[in-house]
A and B are shown apart, each in its own frame.
Chain A
């Protein structure tokens, strides 16, 4: 079945550090890939997505590139801020069949000033 594997957290970085959160997936065919973010006390918000190989999703300084050859969708940001502290979820969705999203376990990110 489909699955998403994220690097285990928690991750703690200093402000302005470079961020990478690894995500790899297993799926049939070529799924769409997503990063969602969950700020404290809130639901999940879509951060970025990519729907086909070599697509790059970007938003709020975050980027992730759909790598079919390595089945990866790593999240990166060049200079993190305290306000980026949240839990980040990688997810996939097949491009056929039902609307089901398969999520990773989430990575908690804490940015210290």
Chain B
């Protein structure tokens, strides 16, 4: 148990559906991240929120829409996805160094997404 939870753990959706992934951290961190893990590829950083502001968006398609309502919660809203978006989506949190914290990221267990 790392203090970062993700729901749901598994999700199957059609290309026309709208769904959301949820991440919650109980570590008092102020930075949160979404990563995509596909088979045989390095982890891809999608979004970074630091102090609830989006500080990085790695050219992610607009069918992925993040939301960070507070420092403990992070969402990834999904709509009109493609089959190639099937992957494990990992959330992580850390204490941003600007606040004097460490640089270690703690990961949740991930949501296994399948797009039909």
Residue ranges of A at the interface with B (Cβ–Cβ < 8 Å): 4, 32, 34, 36, 41-46, 49, 89, 93, 95, 98-106
Contact = CB atoms under 8 A, between A and B. Distances in A.
A101 B48 CA distance: 11
Given A98-B48, A104-B42, A43 B103 contact: no
Contacts of A34: 104
Contact of A99 (B4, B31, B41, B106): B31
B20 to A, nearest CB: 19
SS of A interface (majority): strand
Given A43-B4, A98-B48, A103 B107 contact: no
B107 A43 contact: yes
Interface of B: 2, 4, 6, 31, 33, 40-43, 45, 48, 50, 55-56, 90, 92, 94, 96-97, 103-110
A34 B103 CA distance: 10
Nearest to B90: A43
Nearest to A46: B104
Contact of B43 (A41, A42, A46, A89): A89
A45 B42 contact: no
Nearest to A100: B45
Given A43-B2, A98-B48, A99-B96, A105 B42 contact: yes
A73 to B, nearest CB: 15
A32 B107 CA distance: 18
Given A44-B90, A45-B2, A46-B104, A101 B45 contact: yes
A105 B107 contact: no
B38 to A, nearest CB: 10
A102 B45 CA distance: 8
A103 B43 contact: yes
